[in-house]
Amino acid sequence: MTHFYSAESVTAGHPDKLCDQIADAVLDGCLALDRNARVACEVLATKGHIVLAGEISTAVMPDIGKLTRETLENAGYNSKDFEIESLIHPQSPDIEAAVNDPLDAETDPDAIGAGDQCVVVGYATDETPEMLPLPVVLAHRLTSCLTLARLTGAVPGLGPDGKAMAIVEYEDDIPVKVAKIVLSFQHTPKVDPTDLTEPIWKNVILSALKGMPYDDSLELILNPGGHFVLGGPEADTGLTGRKLAVDAYGPFVPTGGGAFSGKDPTKLDRSGAYMARCVAKNIVASGIAQRCQVTLTYAIGMAKPLAVEVDTFGTGLLCEDDCLALAVQTAFDLTPAGIITELDLQRPIYARTAVGGHFGREDFPWEKLDRTGLLMATIR
């Protein structure tokens, strides 16, 4: 049976992604000075204004204005065009107490409670080397190549804002070819976007398609809205967390928890999602299943997950999903403290996650494959 599955990505200059990057730059700035910093930073970007709000409790507060302006410049904007307002205040003492003194781990002095209640979902599939759905991988490649073409001048006249969509044809749940690509790219007023078709094809699309299945039937849709001169916060207000599907697995996986960027690892919306991905990826890499979805449920102020669910979509080879869920709880420490320790999350590593997706890049610690042997041993 034939199906068409799609996924999208956005560039660093997209206003929502700009906000995610600023929030994570602030988080990294805090963790660089205090590894125990508690951070929940939200950002709004609109024409001429950047507003930061949220809760931060840290031994040393970084220069938020400087971090914001550096992020603006790195994304391709003139920071002098923006007025920056910070409305940051300390974390609630109730939340602090819930994290520091978990209700269900009174005898463990090192335990911490979840910083919020959440349901998080992790996923992996064997259809690509990244263990992500092919449309997701291609969409991120397209925006990455678009940004590179702007920075190198390979495509003249590009602006920092841009979006991509990849539509892939599947036969019986197997990707067979890339069917359509939609690419929207900001450009200078003097540039006719139709004149950029050839350099975009050569320097962006062909580069992104390397190793991908496609043929002459591939349909390209470039700047379907026509001219795209006004972009970024001047054209569209941005907010942190509004590209959660882009950050994760596109439309392939249910969105369980909240957004990632701007949150320290005691917020299980983020660290729990990273561990769920790690678990799912190890299951697929071990050959136990071809596809796997892991769902973890947490309550604020409690250390142990309330529920652990594994779904292999009928591709499991060695045991039933309920048995696999039990094996997961043996092979992985799913408590907040265990996740933070195992993935070494109290470091300034988050700014890079804010563009190009949070999964599928080998240098992220939640992508490591070091539990395959233990999983196999546990289920046998």
Instruction: Look over the chain and give the mean of its residue pLDDT values, rounded to a whole number.
Output: 95
Res 379 pLDDT > 90? no
pLDDT at 109: 81
Degrees, nearest 5: CA angle 188-194-199:
85
Q: Which CATH architecture has domain 2-10+134-230?
A: 2-Layer Sandwich (3.30)
CATH topology (fold) of 118-127+244-379: GMP Synthetase; Chain A, domain 3 (3.30.300)
Distance between CA atoms of residues 296 and 197, nearest Å: 45
Do the first three CATH levels of 15-100 and 118-127+244-379 match, i.e. the same topology? yes
The residue-averaged pLDDT of 189-198 equals 91
Helix (H, G, I), strand (E, B) or coil at 125: strand
Distance between CA atoms of residues 263 and 131, nearest Å: 25
The residue-averaged pLDDT of 9-20 equals 98
Of 94-103, 289-298, 329-338, minimum mean pLDDT range: 94-103
pTM of the predicted protein model: 0.96
Question: Which stretches within the chain are classed as H helix?
Answer: 15-33, 64-75, 93-100, 134-152, 197-200, 206-208, 244-247, 268-285, 321-331, 336-343, 372-379
Helix (H, G, I), strand (E, B) or coil at 9: strand
Compute and round to an integer the Cα radius of gyration of the chain: 21
Helix (H, G, I), strand (E, B) or coil at 237: coil
pLDDT at 362: 93
Is residue 338 a contact partner of residue 249, using CB atoms and an 8 Å limit? no
Where do the structural domains in the chain lie, given as residue ranges? 2-10+134-230, 15-100, 118-127+244-379
Is residue 358 a contact partner of residue 121, using CB atoms and an 8 Å limit? no
pLDDT grade for 104, boundaries at 50, 70 and 90: confident
Of 21-25, 112-116, 183-187, minimum mean pLDDT range: 112-116
Is residue 38 a contact partner of residue 58, using CB atoms and an 8 Å limit? yes
The DSSP annotation for 131-159 comes to SS-HHHHHHHHHHHHHHHHHHHTSSTTEE
CATH code, residues 15-100: 3.30.300.10
Is residue 130 a contact partner of residue 116, using CB atoms and an 8 Å limit? no
Is residue 101 a contact partner of residue 113, using CB atoms and an 8 Å limit? yes
Q: What percent of the chain has pLDDT over 70?
A: 99
Cβ-proximal residues to 193 (8 Å cutoff; 6+ apart), any chain: 185, 187, 222, 223, 226, 227, 228
pLDDT at 256: 79
